[in-house]
Amino acid sequence: MASSLHFLITPLMSPGHLIPMVDMAKLIAQHNVAVTILITPRNAERYGTVLHRAIASGLPVKILQLELPASEYGLPDGCESVDDLPTFNLTKNFFDAFATLQKPLEDVFYLLKPRPSCIISDKHVTWTEEVAKKFQIPWVIFDGMSCFTQLVTHNLCVSKIHESLADSDPLILPGLPDTIYMTKSQLPGLFNPGNNARAMEILLEREKIRAVELGAYGTLINSFDEMEKRYIDEFKKLKQGRVWFIGPFSNSNKNDLDRAQRGSKDSVSNHEYMKWLDSQHNRSVIYACLGSLTWLTPLQFIELALGLENSKFPFILVVKGGTRIEEVEKWLDETGFESRVKGRGVLIRGWASQVLILSHPAVGAFLTHCGWNSTIEGVCAGVPLITWPQFADQFLNERLVVQVLGTGVAVGAKRVIHLEGEDGGAMQVRREDVCKAAKIVMDEGEEGEERREKAKCLKQMAEKAIEEGGSSQFNLNLFIEDIRLHTNKGLVG
Point out the catalytic residue in the list 6, 31, 84, 122. Answer: 122
Residue-wise DSSP of 447-479: HHHHHHHHHHHHHHHHHHHTSTTSHHHHHHHHH
The closest alpha carbon to 308, from 300, 258, 334, 248, belongs to 300
Q: Are 315 and 342 in contact (CB under 8 A)?
A: no
Point out the catalytic residue in the list 17, 124, 154, 162. Answer: 17
Cα 115 to the center of its chain, rounded Å: 30
Q: How many CA within 13 A on the CB side of residue 309?
A: 18
Residue-wise DSSP of 181-192: EEEGGGS-TTT-
Q: Is 52 among the catalytic positions?
A: no
Q: Is 17 among the catalytic positions?
A: yes
How many whole angstroms separate alpha carbon 143 and alpha carbon 221? 6
Long-range contacts, stretch 158-164, CB < 8 angstroms, 24+ apart: 162/187, 162/191, 162/192
Give CA separation, 144 vs 14, 269, 411, 452, in Å.
Answer: 12, 29, 24, 26
3-state SS assignment for residue 9:
strand
Q: Are 177 and 234 in contact (CB under 8 A)?
A: yes
Strands of 408-410's sheet in order across:
345-349, 315-319, 285-289, 363-368, 385-387, 408-410
Q: Are 362 and 387 in contact (CB under 8 A)?
A: no
How many whole angstroms separate alpha carbon 490 and alpha carbon 484? 10
How many whole angstroms separate alpha carbon 489 and alpha carbon 189? 40
Active site residues: 17, 122
